[in-house]
Structure 1
Amino acid sequence: MHCPHHSKVKLFSPADSVMLLIDHQQGTLNFCRNIPHKMIIQNTRALARFAAALHMPVVLTTSQEERAQGPLIPDLKELLPEAYDARVKRTGVANAWNDPAYRKAVETAARGRKNIIMAGLTNDVCIAYPAVSMCEAGYHVMVVQDAGGSPSTMADENARRFWERAGARTITVNALACEMGKDWSTPEGGKMIGIVMEEIIGHLDEMAIK
Structure 2
Amino acid sequence: MSKIMSKVKYFNIKDSVMLLIDHQVGTLGFCRNIPHKMIIQNTRALARFAKELNMPVLLTSSQEERAQGPLLDDLKKILPEAYEARVKRGGIANAWDDPAYKSAVQKLAGGKKDIIMAGLTNDVCIAYPAVSMCAEGYNVLVVQDAGGSPSQMADDTARRFWERAGARTITVNALACELGKDWSTPEGGKMIGIVMEEIIGHLDEMTKGIGVK
Q: TM-score, normalized by length of structure 2? A: 0.95
* Residues in 1 aligned to 2:151 and 2:7: alpha-carbon distance in whole angstroms: 31
Shift of 1:8: 1.6
* Match of residue 77 from structure 2: 78
- Displacement of 1:7 after TM fit? 8.3
What's 2:189 paired with? 190
2:44 is the alignment partner of 1:45: yes
State the AA in 1 paired with 2:204: D
Aligned positions, number: 205
Task: Give deviations 1:12-62, integer Å, cap 9, x for gaps.
Answer: 111000000000000000000000000000000000000011100000000
Q: Give distance in 2, aligned partners of 1:71 and 1:40.
A: 16
Partner Cα distance (2:19, 2:49) in 1 = 12
The one-letter code sitting in structure 1 at the alignment partner of 2:92 is: V
Matches of 1:189 and 1:7 in 2, distance apart? 24
Displacement after TM superposition at 1:209 (Å): 4.3
**Mapped contact 1:29–1:121 kept (Cα < 8 A):** yes
Distance 1:95 1:59 in 2: 15
Alignment of 1:29-68 (within 5 A): 29-68=28-67
1:93 corresponds in structure 2 to 92
Query: How far apart are 1:146 and its partner, in Å?
Result: 0.0
Residue of structure 2 in register with 1:3 after alignment: none
Match of 2:151 in 1: 152
How many angstroms apart in 2 are the aligned matches of 1:107 and 1:14? Answer: 18
Q: Which runs of 5+ in 1 are unaligned?
A: 1-5
8 Å contact kept, 1:14–1:180:
yes
Match of 2:8 in 1: 9
Q: Counterparts of 2:61 and 2:159 in 1: how far apart (Å)?
A: 21
Runs of 4+ in 1 over 4 A off after TM superposition: none
| Aligned partners of 1:177 and 1:193 also within 8 Å | yes
- Partners of 1:197 and 1:14 in 2: CA distance: 19
Q: Name the amino acid aligned to 1:23.
A: D
**8 A Cα contact 1:35 1:209, kept in partner:** no
Relative to the length of structure 1, the TM-score reads 0.96
- Cα deviation 1:43-87 (Å, max 9, x = unaligned): 000000000111000000000000000000000000000000000
Which position in structure 1 is the counterpart of 2:104?
A: 105
Instruction: Say what the alpha-carbon RMSD is for the aligned residues.
Output: 1.0
In structure 2, stretches of 5+ residues that fail to align are: none
Output the CA distance in 2 between the equivalents of 1:141 and 1:68.
28
